[in-house]
Amino acid sequence: MIFVINPGSFFIVPLEKTNKQLITSLAQRRESCIEIILVTAGYLIRKCNSNSIRINAKDIHLSLSLQPTFIIETGGELQGWYCRFDNTFSDPAYLKENLKNHIELISSFLYQYPLRLTNKVFQRLAANFDSITKLFNEQERDYSLIQAYILVCIYEIKKVLKESSLDFYPAKAFSITKKYRDLLVSHPEQKQGLEFYANALKITPNHLNKAVKAVTGKTAIGMFNEMRLTEAQLRLKHTDFSISEIAYQLGFEDHAYFSRFFRKATGNSPIEFRKKERS
C-alpha cells in the first residue's frame, strides 16, 4: 500500500496497515513534525531521544519535532495508530500557540516513557483516532474537524497526567534541555564542544549539564553522544554513504575513531550493524 504524504499538513495511518520501515522513513525526515503513537494491541519499541521506548497496548507516546526516531521492534499482532502533523497544521495562530504549549508540557513527562491510559480514556482516544482516520480518508478532508479531534486528544492526555501522581520535570530544566536537543538534531554534522552549545543558550556549561541531568538522567555530553549514535544508526540503515563519509558527516576525526565509538555503544561495528539491518 502506498501513502501519499502531504508535507506541511497532517497524516494518520493504522499501525496494522503499515510497517516499521514506513514509520521510520517518515520519522527520520527533517520536517518539524510532531508524532503521536497509540497502541491498541501488541507492542512496538522505538528509539526516541536516544532512549529505547516500549509502547504496549493502551499506551500512548508523543514526540516533538526534529527528533531522530526509528522503530526497533514490533510484535504481538501490532494494532493502533501512527499520527504526525507539523506546525502549519495547527493554524490559526491562537490554536497553534495553545496546542504547542500543551504538547511541550506533555512531552516533558514522556521524554523516556509512554503514558499508560485508563480504560475510559483509552476507549475515548481509540474512538477519536478511528474518527480522525475516517475523516482523513474522505475524498474532501475537513482539516478543521481533524484539528478539533487532535486538540481533544491532547487535552485527554494532559488530564490523565494531571490526575496522576507523576511529577513533571522542572519547567526551566526541560526548556533548556529541549533547546539543547533542538540544536543537536538541527546540526548533526557540526562538531562542537559543550561550551559552544552553552553559549548559544546563553548559560554556562555547568548550568546546561545540570538541566540535562535533571530531565534525562544523563550528562550533556552523554546526550550529545547518544544523539550522534542515533543519527549514525539512521544513516547506516537508510543511506548508502560509506562508513568514512558518515563519520565525517557526524564530526568524527576519522572513521577508525567512529568505528570504536560505535562498537563500544552497540557491540557491533558500523559494517556489522548495516549488514544486520539490511539482511
Statement to judge: residues 61 and 94 lie in one domain:
yes
Phi, psi values for residue 259, rounded to 5°: -65, -40
Report pLDDT for 59.
93
Residue type, 96: K
What domain range includes position 98? 10-163
Is 184 within the bounds of a domain? Answer: yes
Report pLDDT for 70.
73
The DSSP code sequence of 6-21 is: -TTSEEEEEGGGS-HH
What's the average pLDDT block by block, 10 residues per block, for the chain (279 residues)?
Answer: 44 76 52 82 82 88 73 85 76 54 71 82 94 91 84 85 61 78 72 81 90 82 85 86 90 88 91 86
Q: C-alpha grid cell for residue 63?
A: 514526540
- Domain boundary pick from 163, 194, 215: 163
- Domain boundary pick from 163, 195, 227: 163
Report pLDDT for 53.
86
Is 240 within the bounds of a domain? Answer: yes
d(CA 7, CA 31): 8
Query: Given the DSSP bridges, would you call strands 10-14 and 70-86 parallel, antiparallel or unpaired?
Result: antiparallel
Report pLDDT for 31.
52
Report pLDDT for 94.
44
Statement to judge: residues 229 and 146 lie in one domain:
no
List, in sequence order, every residue forming a beta bridge with 84; answer none if it has no partner.
11, 35
Statement to judge: residues 62 and 33 lie in one domain:
yes
CATH number at residue 22: 2.60.120
Report pLDDT for 262.
93
Query: 171-186 and 93-109 helices cross at what angle (nearest 10)?
Result: 100
d(CA 80, CA 117): 14
Residue type, 94: Y
Say whether the peptide bond before residue 92 is cis (omega within 30 degrees of 0).
Answer: yes
Statement to judge: residues 77 and 206 lie in one domain:
no
Statement to judge: residues 146 and 190 lie in one domain:
no
d(CA 122, CA 40): 8
d(CA 197, CA 195): 6
Give the chain's domain count.
2
Report pLDDT for 2.
30
Statement to judge: residues 46 and 110 lie in one domain:
yes
- Domain boundary pick from 140, 163, 186: 163
- Name the nearest CA neighbour of 38 among 130, 165, 107: 130
Statement to judge: residues 114 and 65 lie in one domain:
yes
Statement to judge: residues 151 and 252 lie in one domain:
no
